[in-house]
Structure 1
Amino acid sequence: MSRVCALARPRLAYLSQRGLHHLRHPTRRVVLMAVAALPAAVVLYVLVLIPFTPGIGDIRKARVDQPAQILSADGKVLAEFKPSNREWVPLAQISPHMVDALISTEDHRFYEHHGIDFKRTAGAALHTFSGDRQGGSTITQQLARNLYPDEIGRAPTLTRKIKEAITAFKIEAVYSKPQILETYLNTVPFLYNAFGIEMAARTYFGVSADQLTVLQAATLTGMLKGNAYYNPVINPERALARRNTVLSQMVKYGKLTPAQFATLSKKPLRLDFERQTEPPGPAPHFAQQLRKWLIAWADRNDYNIYSDGLIVRTTIDSRLQAMATASLKQHANQLQGIANGAWSGRNGCSADNDLFKSFMRETPDYKAAHDAGASDADALKKLAADRNFMRGLCKAKTDVQAGFIAIDPRDGQIKAWVGSRDFQDEPFDHVQQARRQPGSTFKAFVYGAAFANGAKPSDTIIDQPVEMPLEGGEIWRPNDDVPPSNKPMSLRDALAFSRNRITAQVMQAVGPDKVARLARAMGVRDSQLNAVPSLALGTSPVTLKEMVSAYSTIANDGVYLEPRMVTRIEDSKGEVLAEFGSASPERALSADADRTLLDTLRDVVNRGTGSSIRTRFGIRADVAGKTGTTQDNADGWFILMDPQLVAGAWVGFDDGRVTLNSDYWGQGARSALPIVGDFFQRALRQRIVDPRARFDTEVTPGAFEQFRARLKTWMDSLFGSKQAEAPRPLTPIKRAPAPEPSEVPPSSGVQAASAAASEAAASEAAAASAILNGVSPPASNLPPILGPSGASHAAAAQPATPPSSQQPPYPAQEPSLAPTPTPDDNDSSGGAPAQYTPPQNN
């Protein structure tokens, strides 16, 4: 083996020396082969890169900037989905000075080449190799970069230049020269989110593209060499010098005379700078949510929402949208004035306010001062002395916010959507994005579940102190703003006047799980609901859209329809691409229980916490609804149902710790209700909503109920007595501890009467609880249960009279055991969330 290696070494050395000799002294054949291989390699490399450049089809679509148009149900434009802040203008509407300046400076042989100016490219290469780097891109090549930055790239490499050249040839094959100029001028960026010559002219000079003067056109053309470097706003000297360079180029290529140049070059820039913001449109929050949905639909169906000219027909009624926007802005602005007064002075936005002091500690400014070594007191003192800081923090925390949505319950179409007072100041959507405690508006699901179990609006429960043991040894004690009367109150009155103690007992009888299931079935499907007793008072945060959707189910005879935003999508020629009908109906609550609930919610408006709908706004239509207020008046709610439209509003602050500091204005009946009331008043006056429409709340007894009623009547007439039914077992409601006998003042028979009354009250509560479980109470020697009128019922065990569809759509002056509220009375406890011992986190 070693011998073979020894013999091979001289051979290898010879070959190596010979190879070096050929490299140093190549033959003619080798030279010719090398010269021929170089262009072949270049051609091969170009062929390899072609598949990685945009296709002809993509290029044809790119020039036609046709953003999706979003139309209302009545044909009004709500929004256009543009990829950037750009407005396309045809070449005929662009100043000829701009075209002359562009061609003279960027590509003076534009009309002579086919995408690549080889002479200019070679000159630029020579300058670059000599150390003076120059650009040699034509307008077409620049357009290729602007249209396809991802496919071509921006790195200064040979690969990028080749891909740019290939794409430029393709563009020249598809577009005419005027089309290339038009496309280029409408796609080139000019800083400050201004794309295209039209937005640039408005941004820097306050004119349209067709009004640009020679100086203005030269200034904008000069920016193309480097937007930031030649920015006329922050670098006016550089921009002025570059503008004059452009003017000299125009002289060189015959677009200006030397005399004109001498005059123009001495003039200042004279900017009229103003950032251009895209107008939000009449339904910006709705459009914001629709854009997300439409992008997903377009991706699934191979469409581009920015260039395919889609026409999206939505469910929004432009008239109702305008009314909703006006109503929300008007009443929220009034509340802002109240909030400003409440948060002014030493007890408001100042370091003397403990809550505001907490806000100060949460800011980056405080953190920076603290990290720099300042003590807590010193950091707070320094921030408090900064008026701009304090003013900005105060505004951020105390700006009143609101949300509004209206849905047609018959088909689930969303008719109006307002997500905040001002989209430009607050783009956050308080309809679908914000989750807040719904307060007493959630009580509808508690009573709905009770009616589904067979309870009647006339059934009564004792208004008494309530204690409910919870996991972990805690005790929940729901309260109202009035002391307990220890008298029976009907479910109708309890819902109309929003009594928490009664609702808590109803919740205990029905069960939190059943209430949570009903709420989900009716429309609260995205937010998590904690199935605990305090859920009865709305302690689980939900969205306004979910709540109005659920109330639409109530207005639709207990049938849930998923809310929808779009009815049809068409292409740019009007051909229908997709249609979207109503979602499949889902039965959430039986028709009889739903009609009973709806009829009971009428009383909220007729004589309860929402009565200002009648007294203040004069609405006489057949409507029903519910107010809601959370603890410390942090959230105000109101939802109103009409057979043709269900609308709801929320009012509060982005930070739930901030309130109006007003027991009056913070209530849902005075914060959210006026928005809905004003909206409905406008819609009814213009007959967009038919004031003659009526809910059908007639409850038809089933065959079994009819048979049982006839049998009972026959048995009563035959035996002259009532047949009792055995109740189902029910966990008794836990009352608060009664006072010791010694606490009762001694008097003749008082203790005995008190004991009898307590025993009667407890038995009545148990009987009412049995009713809630769908079982008639047992016969007893207790006093008869009191109905809504407060009169004794001898026939308390008989089925309650079903609600009638003939109930007048105006306040019925029905006497009641409940105290009569003022017209604007709100939830009796403000719909306060659960109060635990120890207190819960609300």
Structure 2
Amino acid sequence: MKRYVSSVRDHCSTWFARLKSAAAASAARLQPLAAALCVTLKPLVAAAWQRLRHPTRRGVLIAMAALPALFVLYVLVLIPFTPGIGDIRKARVDRPAQILSADGKLLAEFKPSNREWVPLAQISPHMIDALIATEDHRFYEHHGIDWRRTAGAALHTFSGDRQGGSTITQQLARNLYPDEVGRAPTLTRKLKEAITALKIEAVYSKPQILETYLNTVPFLYNAYGIEMASRTYFDRSADQLDILQAATLTGMLKGNSYYNPVINPERALQRRNTVLAQMVKYGKLSEADYARLKGKPLRVDFERQTEPPGPAPHFAQQLRKWLIAWADRNDYNIYSDGLIVRTTIDSRLQSMATAALTQHGNQLQSIANGAWSGRSGCSAGNDLFRTFIRETPDYRAARDAGQPDADAIAHLASDHGFMRALCKSKTDVQAGFLAIDPRNGQIKAWVGSRDFANEPFDHVQQARRQPGSTFKPFVYGAAFAQGAKPADTFIDQPVEIPLAGGEVWQPTDDVSPSGKPVTLRDALAYSRNRITAQLMMQVGPDRVARLARAMGVRDSRLDAVPSLALGTSPVTLKEMVSAYGTIANDGSYLEPRMITRIEDSSGDVLAEFAPASPERALPVAADRTLLDTMRDVVNRGTGSSIRSRFGIRADVAGKTGTTQDNTDGWFILMSPQLVAGAWVGFDDGRVTLGSDYWGQGARSALPIVGDFFQRALRSRLVDPRARFTTDVEPGAFEMFREKLRAWIDVLFASHEHKPQTPAAPVRRAPPARPAPAPVPAPVPSAPSAASAPETPAFEAAPPARPLGVPPIIGPASAPQGESPFPSQEPALAPTPTPDAPEPMPATGDDGAQQGAAPMQDH
């Protein structure tokens, strides 16, 4: 080792010595060259300096000619950095993209701002006279730049009295191209503005310039253009403006905020009279009329103008992002090219979804208001609400000012306006709804919140919440893919699953362990957490997470831990409905679609979007088994009010979900033609409805979906006769086994006359990987007498409905004899009114995070 280090050191020393020698040699060779260069340049520099000190007439003339030449050269360099002629021609064509539903209804128009374009003939002549007299009285004489006014403004600016010299055309250039031209007080910006103004004058006529200017100028409060300004400040159209109103709006152009007639009426009045004086100066108003008008008040009739959100605002919001990217790639402008975008939304289903979510959301809001009223709710006496107060900027400001914690909270608690606003922001019930056609992935209805104007946040695509028991079908689907059957059983007993770090996860239900075997069909129908946890450990969290991703949960992170079985990884509603669409589509995933095609303003097709290629996520046999098992959720399980309350007799399947402390309520329902799901909760996960009854997914989210499906079926937008195909083709082994069993039955037919009451067979779940020691093993196929229950209520019950046999879709009663929990069946009572949900069967809990308290599911 020492010899190696010594060799490296010697090598480096030799290399540095050679480098130093080469550098010295180079310096020696360059020294004569540098000396010669200095000798050559010295007289030239001296001569140039002498000319500068003693300039000749010729030199002065050359210098004077060089400055304009350099200026012209600079202007020529700037021309490519200003808007092109083609862009300027498009600028005054207000043809926003139109978003149409699948049935041809207008959903939205993508405008660059909140404005309504009106032709010059529909603008009051008083407005045009006031504008020209005040902003550009030589408008009809120049070609974009008023050189006299520009020179005068420059002289005043140099003398310290800064003035503007922009013409109406130059102001239009700034309004149309705020990014390319800008507003910085620099020479470069002014040159860009002048170049763009000359281009505008070359393309537009004078009336077109006036019309474009008056339709694009901003007037505060999200009002763009003279039409929106007239409605905002005077509650009338632009053609109805009188001379005082026109002068007031013209006066705002000098400074919208400074001369705002709502906030600064005195300044606005003075500025209005200045505009009237300018009209007198240039012959647009007589002296007598000016004397009569200048003393009149403003008489502002202010009302904000909001752009109508349209029937599907959250859908349009997501679509706008996609369309902008598509237009950029294909060289189109969504604001001026008149694109026609045909979407997958059905306006009728969208209207039904909005009505259902609004109606039931308002009912839940009334419950929330009652739960959060009084001292136990939105008051400083509530520990949670005190936490909310401490999280506000007002509290932090009070603390920064030196107030103690108690004084700051007391001061804010006495501010009724502050407390009302904080309470509303925290206790507003929110919801999301999505419906997808599982046959092609088309999105048919999308409602992102109860009110887009108050809550533009999208709870379909943007919000990630724990899905609770709606995640369980992925566990059962993975088990069925491994060969498990709906009749396989696990013992309903306490479960302890060791976790990393020495913790133990103990999933629970809201009923005590019965110690009896429970089939997978019943466990999913009644959402049993203990059974699902045992099945999860047999299948494996990794396999379940992979299946969920393959089926549609592709954007959210899934933690492959045991509690994933009960939905502890946050996901979006769009992902969950998409995954249930995979279940309804024989196990093939289809990416959700928003658009079918894009056309130009003439109707010519620019792009068509076919359905995505299906991706196999779950074997057909396993998927049909899962779908048939999920029928029992609505036939007799936690979602049975779909039948009893909403009277839906179609072939449907679904799943409820409720997270810890009733924070999130979920329900997703599948039919062969439509899959719809809803989420209900609060933006702050610490807030709940304060009710174990109303907080359950079966009572918060299910009514939204049930109401929607009821409307869709009645209107025949969904065919009530459509049926799922759940017949499973038997394999070769199953066929051989059935033939063998039939042969044995024939052989021993002579013994069938003996009276027997055999117990229903209890099948062993197929082996997968060994479960951890604390997890109970599946029940043997033939239980011993010691393990058999004394009361044969479960074993003597008729076997579960065979796979592939259509469900009994009749009266609202649950099938007798199918449930191992007879005391938990819904009471047979007259169908309640839509406003009063009937009692539901007791159900299990959704385990929350690892080692945490359980989450309930109903």
| Common topology (TM > 0.5) | yes
Question: Runs of 5+ in structure 2 lacking a partner?
Answer: 1-31, 752-760, 828-837
Amino acid at match of 2:550: A
**How many angstroms apart in 2 are the aligned matches of 1:786 and 1:43?**
105
* Residues paired across the two proteins, number: 796
User: How far apart are the structure 1 equivalents of 2:855 and 2:437?
Assistant: 36
Preserved CA contact (<8 Å) 1:697 1:803: yes
Structure 1 Cα separation of the partners of residues 850 and 282 of structure 2 = 85
| 1:731 aligned to which of 754, 770, 777 | 770
The residue number in structure 2 matching 1:311 is: 340
Judge conservation of contact 1:406–1:646 (CA < 8 Å) in 2. yes
Letter in 2 for 1:354: D
Instruction: Give the alignment of 1:63-212 within 5 angstroms.
Output: 63-212=92-241
Q: What secondary structure, in the 3-state scheme, does the structure 2 residue paired with 1:297 have? A: helix
Alignment of 1:439-518 (within 5 A): 439-518=468-547
Pair 1:108–1:471, CA change in 2 (3 A): same
How far apart in 2 are the matches of 1:390 and 1:458? 55
TM-fit CA distance, 1:82: 1.9
Amino acid at match of 1:814: Q
Distance in structure 1 (CA, Å) of the matches to 2:668 and 2:53? 95
In the other structure, the counterpart of 1:790 is 794
Check conservation: 1:463, 1:485, Cα contact below 8 A.
yes
Q: Cα–Cα, structure 1 residues 546 and 733, in superposed 2: closer, same or farther, change >3 Å?
A: same
Q: CA deviation at 1:21?
A: 7.3
Matched, 1:598 2:602: no
Tell me which amino acid in the other structure corresponds to 2:696.
Q
Corresponding position of 2:720: 691
Evaluate the alpha carbon distance shift between residue 837 and residue 558 of structure 1 in structure 2; reply closer, same or farther with a 3 A threshold.
closer
Most deviating of 688-697 and 779-788: 779-788
3-state SS in 2 of match to 1:460: strand
Q: Secondary structure of 1:403's match? A: strand
Match for residue 639 of structure 1 among 668, 672, 692: 668
1:307: how far off?
A: 2.2
Q: Which residue number in structure 1 is paired with residue 29 of structure 2? A: none
Structure 1 window deviating more from structure 2 (348-357 vs 119-128): it is 119-128
Conserved 8 A contact 1:298-1:304: yes
Equivalent residues of 1:638, 1:676 under 8 A apart: yes
Does structure 1 residue 813 correspond to structure 2 residue 812? Answer: no
Output the CA distance in 2 between the equivalents of 1:627 and 1:13.
89
Deviations 1:758-796 (A, max 9, x none): xxxx7xx5346xxxxxxxx589888789999934599x9
Q: Distance in 1 between matches of 2:441 and 2:415?
A: 51
Indicate conservation of the 8 Å contact 1:89/1:198, yes or no: yes
Q: Conserved in 2, the CA contact under 8 Å of 1:407 and 1:549?
A: yes
Tell me the distance in 2 between the aligned counterparts of 1:43 and 1:729. 82
From 308, 311, 327, give the equivalent of 2:356.
Answer: 327
Distance 1:32 1:801, change over 3 A: closer
Q: Secondary structure at the match of 1:489?
A: strand
Between stretches 694-703 and 375-384, larger displacement belongs to 375-384
1:340 equivalent among 350, 369, 394? 369
Kindly state the Cα deviation for residue 662 of structure 1 after the two structures are TM-superposed: 0.7
The 1-side partners of 2:826 and 2:764 are apart by 41
Q: Structure 1 residues 826 and 534 mapped into 2: Cα distance closer, same or farther (>3 Å)?
A: farther
How far off is 1:237 after superposition?
1.8
Structure-to-structure mapping, 1:392-403, within 5 angstroms = 392-403=421-432
Q: Is contact 1:490-1:788 (8 Å) kept? A: no
Give 1:266's aligned amino acid.
G
Amino acid at match of 2:356: S
In structure 1, what is the equivalent of residue 834 of structure 2? none
Q: What's the secondary structure of 2:410's corresponding residue?
A: helix
Q: Is the 8 Å Cα contact of residues 726 and 803 (structure 2) preserved in structure 1?
A: no
What's the offset of the Cα at 1:332? 0.8
> How many Å apart are 1:355 and its aligned residue?
1.6
User: How high is the sequence identity, in percent, across the aligned residues?
Assistant: 75
Match of 2:282 among 229, 232, 253: 253
Helix, strand or coil at the partner of 2:179: helix
Q: For each residue in 1:474-505, what CA deviation from the matched residue of structure 2 results, as whole angstroms up to 9, or x when unmatched?
A: 22211111111111222222111111111112
Kindly state the Cα deviation for residue 40 of structure 1 after the two structures are TM-superposed: 3.0
Q: Which amino acid aligns with 1:386?
A: D
In the other structure, the counterpart of 2:778 is 766
Structure 2 residue aligned with 1:231, among 260, 282, 286? 260
AA of the residue aligned to 2:770:
T
2:641 maps to a residue whose letter is S
| The one of 822, 832, 838 aligned to 2:846 | 832
- Structure 1, unmatched stretches of 5+, are 737-761, 769-776
Q: Which residues in structure 2 correspond to 1:346-425 (within 5 Å)? A: 346-425=375-454
Compared CA separation, residues 309 and 106, structure 1 to 2 (3 A):
same
Q: Which amino acid aligns with 2:486?
A: P
The answer to whether the Cα contact below 8 Å between 2:485 and 2:765 also exists between their aligned partners in 1 is no
Q: Deviations over 1:560-603 (max 9, x none)?
A: 11111111111222221111111110111111111111111111
Q: CA deviation at 1:814?
A: 3.3
1:832 partner amino acid: D
Distance 2:384 2:458 in 1: 25
8 Å Cα contact 1:460-1:785 kept in structure 2: no
Q: Structure 2: how far apart are the matches of 1:351 and 1:702? A: 67
Query: Contact 1:101–1:247 at 8 Å: present in 2 too?
Result: yes
Deviation by residue 1:330-360 (Cα, 9 ceiling, x = unmatched): 1111111111111112211122222222222
Name the residue aligned to 1:804: 805
* 1:543, distance to aligned residue in structure 2 (A): 0.8
CA distance in 2, matches of 1:14, 1:369: 70
Give the alignment of 1:553-592 within 5 angstroms. 553-592=582-621
CA contact 1:460–1:786 (8 Å) conserved in 2: no
Partner SS state of residue 665, structure 2: strand
Distance change >3 Å, CA 700–CA 129, structure 1 → 2: same
Given the superposition, is the C-alpha separation of residues 16 and 429 from structure 1 closer, same or farther in structure 2, using an over 3 Å criterion? closer
Does 1:273 pair with 2:315?
A: no
Aligned match of 2:455: 426
Q: Cα offset for 1:825?
A: 5.4
Gap change, CA 1:780 and 1:800, over 3 Å in 2: farther
The 1:490–1:235 alpha-carbon spacing in structure 2 relative to 1, beyond 3 Å, is: same
Aligned pair in 2 of structure 1 residues 517, 810: CA closer, same or farther (>3 Å)?
farther
Change (3 A) 1:602 1:118: same
> SS of the residue aligned with 2:803?
coil
**Counterpart among 639, 654, 668 of residue 625 in structure 1:** 654
**Post-superposition offset of 1:297:** 1.4
Distance in 1 between the 2:408 and 2:125 partners? Answer: 59
Contact 2:327 2:333 (8 Å CA) reproduced: yes
- 1:649 alignment counterpart: 678
Q: How much has 1:69 moved relative to structure 2?
A: 1.5
Q: Per the alignment, in what secondary structure is the counterpart of residue 766 of structure 1?
A: coil
Contact between 1:698 and 1:805, CA under 8 Å: does it hold in 2? no
2:622, 2:808 → 1: CA distance? 17
Does the CA contact (< 8 Å) of 2:489 and 2:765 recur in 1? no
Give how far 1:674 is off.
0.7
One-letter identity of the residue aligned with 1:731: P
Distance 2:824 2:76 in 1: 87
CA RMSD of aligned residues (A): 3.2
Secondary structure, in 3 states, of the residue corresponding to 1:151? coil
* Distance apart, 1:841 and its partner CA: 11
Worse-matched range after superposition: 109-118 or 419-428:
109-118
Residue of 676, 688, 709 corresponding to 1:680: 709
Distance 1:557 1:788 in 2: 37
